[in-house]
Copies of this chain bind each other. A is one copy, B any other.
Amino acid sequence: MAELLPVFTACSTCPIRHRAVCASCDAEELDALNGIKYYKTYSAGQNIALRGDALDMVASIVAGTASLERVTEDGRVQMVGLLLPSDFIGRPGRSGLQYDVMAASDVTLCCFHRKPFEEMLDNTPHLRERLLEMAMDELDAARDWMLLLGRKTAREKITSFIDLIVRRSYHPAEAKLDQPMKIELPISREAMANFLGLTIETVSRQITALKRDGLIQIEGKRSVTIPDIYDLRAETGDDEEDVG
């Protein structure tokens, strides 16, 4: 099931080197991190850790997609975090997990045992600085997401999600917004439903409707082409104002 994933040994060749928690570390700091890291892989569907567990590591996602999920007493599931490569798992200073961490696809993690990582945090201002930056970015993203969950229609939710994946798939500099764009949905319909606070049936129906309306084309189940990203964004319900 899990295809063999390459093992990266040198941080300098790491694909997430410039976006992850180590992004602003200098060569010396990187050396120190390099000494305590280890890689770990999970296959799609596996849970990486469960709510209430003591997780004695923190990690960066090197490849694949993980999700954070919360569940009601009677089993309704809400995704509360979508973690793509370079995103960070775990909370320094606290080992008790607040949510389930799931591998949405095959996932490779660059892990650090909690203790040595926390010690490094104390000695490495760059590291804590970058972690704060990332936490605040996630907080902003979480707030966008709350608007989506609380106030958007099913159609707006789907278009917003596709736009989110577009934005994470293209570097802003190299994106050609006036040409058709193509993305791979990183998660299944069920995971999308859990992300968006919908049922799988509603997700499916809305995707069909967007296809019918010519806003997207679908090849297979996961591959989406957006003929005009502006047309799609006009359906997200978002204020146009370009912030951030």
Interface residues of A (CB under 8 A from B): 51-52, 68, 70-74, 76-78, 80-81, 91-94, 96-99, 122, 125, 128-129, 131-133, 135-136, 138-140, 142-147, 149-152, 156, 196-197, 237-241, 243-244
| Cα-based distance from A78 to B97 in the complex (angstroms) | 27
Closest to A93 in B: B133
Chosen A-B contacts, 18 in total, with CB atoms closer than 8 Å, are A51-B239, A70-B143, A72-B147, A72-B238, A73-B239, A76-B237, A78-B146, A78-B150, A80-B143, A80-B147, A98-B140, A98-B143, A125-B125, A128-B129, A138-B139, A139-B142, A142-B143, A149-B197
| Cα-based distance from A27 to B89 in the complex (angstroms) | 34
Question: In the assembled complex, which residues on chain B have CB atoms less than 8 Å from the CB atom of A149?
Answer: 146, 149-150, 197
Please tell me which one of the listed residues B74, B78, B96, B122 contacts residue A244 in the complex, with CB atoms under 8 A apart.
B96
| Contact of A132 with B142 in the complex, beta carbons under 8 Å | no
What is the distance, in angstroms, from A130's C-beta to the closest C-beta of chain B? 10
Question: In the assembled complex, which residues on chain B have CB atoms less than 8 Å from the CB atom of A70?
Answer: 143-144, 146-147
In the A-B complex, the 4 residue pairs with the closest CB atoms: A150-B197, A149-B149, A80-B143, A142-B142
Closest to A142 in B: B142
| Cα-based distance from A184 to B142 in the complex (angstroms) | 28
| Cα-based distance from A145 to B240 in the complex (angstroms) | 25
Question: In the assembled complex, which residues on chain B have CB atoms less than 8 Å from the CB atom of A93?
Answer: 133, 136
| Cα-based distance from A92 to B139 in the complex (angstroms) | 13
| Contact of B243 with A52 in the complex, beta carbons under 8 Å | yes
| Cα-based distance from A150 to B8 in the complex (angstroms) | 38
A241-B52, A243-B52 known; A151+B98 contact, CB < 8 A: no
Given contacts A70-B144, A146-B146, 5 further A-B contacts (CB under 8 A): A68-B143, A73-B240, A128-B132, A139-B139, A142-B142
Question: In the assembled complex, which residues on chain B have CB atoms less than 8 Å from the CB atom of A144?
Answer: 70, 98
